[in-house]
Amino acid sequence: MELNKSTALMLRAVVMIGMVLMVAGIAAELLGMGDGLLHAGILVLILSPFAGIIVSLACLLKERDMFWAMVAGILLAITVVGILISL
Amino acid sequence: MDPLLLVLLMVIGLGAGILGALFGLGGGIIFVPVLLLMGLEPTEAVAISLIGIIAGSVGASTVYVDKGLSNVRLGLLLEITTATGAIIGAIVATYLEEWVLMVIFAIIVYFSGYRMIRSPETIVHPSEDARGRYAFSYRDEASGEDVSYELQHVRGGMALCTVAGMISSMTGVGGGMVKVPLMNLYMHVPMKTASATSSYMIGITAFSGAITYFLGGQVLLEFAAGIAIGAFLGSLAGTVVTRRINARHLRKYFSVVVFVMATIVLLQAAGVLRWS
């Protein structure tokens, strides 16, 4: 369960930061203070699933669950390659 | 931005978030048409939709992954071939007619929805001495029981996810409608875990596309934030229902929802429904 708890904790932390920044960003935007916070909030939200995979990989390595660590590692690599291809 | 429009976007996100968390669907099929009807360009609509999907997926996963309903290992495994399929799909998309793919997609969804109504769920329980890498369990809060299961047809499931990823990236229609039945019917994953694992996976699938649009400056920030906040809250509400609902009912409702969605896809393919 360590894998699930740690991954969920990371997802929760990152998505909450993203949400707080987004809400503050909308308020700032309505007050005419620019869209910097909104930009940051959306970027943090987008990155949250990726952050989840990194924590899962770290947990699996820590548990020496090598088969599943390899699975997480391959997925990270494919995700990065996919982004590089589409950029 | 008009505060009323912001509220409207949040409500749309909320509805899609609830649906997504309940059935493991992304909500793109709701987001994209609505945003196109609002006058947005297709690229803008898709970019915002992907961000909404991430918000709903991660929102639901904060609960599902924590409670062990999402099978993180299975999600990572199937995501490898889904992502590979998506890359292949993006490369070959230009050579194929989109409507043909949409019809194929709808037929697959109809067939799997029908199978889910007709055939009862079969779970393969791991044998007593099984310590295999594909044996898992989760606690069903509705029945109060621990459900143990062993994945079946792992290689076949991975291969089919490649096809699901290809079709998704070529048609823009989400993979949840295909992946949930695939896990439940073919790999014998219990329905609640199948939909919760799909919820977890769709955020990862959407990530690559979303970051590309974001870096390309194609995201309308206020629209995306409105949809994302709504989807996040909706997904949390959806998880409350999923945890309490009977898995058999969830399976039946899923079939009904995907029948409706596959029909929308068919009507789009036939040109009857046009959003812009």
Residues 6+ away with beta carbon under 8 Å from B33: B273, B275
DSSP B175: S
Note the pLDDT of residue B58: 97
Q: Please state the domain count of chain B.
A: 1
Structural domain contains residue B274 = no
Burial class (CB in 10 A: 0-12, 13-18, 19+), B119: exposed
Return the higher-pLDDT residue of A73 and B115: A73
CA distance A34 to A38: 9
CA distance A27 to chain B (A): 10
Residues 6+ away with beta carbon under 8 Å from B7: B226
CA distance B184 to B190: 6
Structural domain contains residue B275 = no
CA distance B161 to B155: 10
Pair type for strands B135-140 and B145-150: antiparallel
Cβ contact A71–B73 (<8 Å): yes
Structural domain contains residue B173 = yes
Q: Enumerate the residues of chain A whose CB falls inside 8 A of the CB of residue B219.
A: 42
Domain that holds residue A16: 2-86
**pTM (two decimals):** 0.93
Note the pLDDT of residue B276: 58
CA distance A49 to B215: 17
Q: ipTM score here?
A: 0.96
Tokens of B160: 């089919």
Q: What angle do CA A24, A25, A30 make, to 5 degrees?
A: 100
CA distance A64 to chain B (A): 13
Cβ contact B212–A30 (<8 Å): no
Residues 6+ away with beta carbon under 8 Å from A77: none
Burial class (CB in 10 A: 0-12, 13-18, 19+), B127: exposed
Note the pLDDT of residue B171: 73
Across chain A, mean pLDDT equals 94
- Is the minimum CB–CB distance between B229 and chain A shorter than 8 Å? yes
CA distance B82 to B180: 13
Domain that holds residue B230: 3-269
Q: Which residues of chain B have pLDDT under 50?
A: none
CA distance A39 to B235: 22
Assess contact for B254 and A44: CB atoms under 8 A.
no
- Is the minimum CB–CB distance between B130 and chain A shorter than 8 Å? no
Note the pLDDT of residue B130: 58
CA distance B176 to chain A (A): 16
Note the pLDDT of residue B192: 93
Note the pLDDT of residue A56: 97
Note the pLDDT of residue B106: 87
Selected residues 25-54 of chain A with any CB under 8 Å from a CB in chain B:
25-26, 29-30, 35, 38-39, 41-43, 45-50, 52-53
Cβ contact B61–A52 (<8 Å): yes
Note the pLDDT of residue B121: 85
Nearest CA to B231 among B51, B32, B23, B33? Answer: B51
Q: Please state the domain count of chain A.
A: 1
CA distance B149 to B123: 6
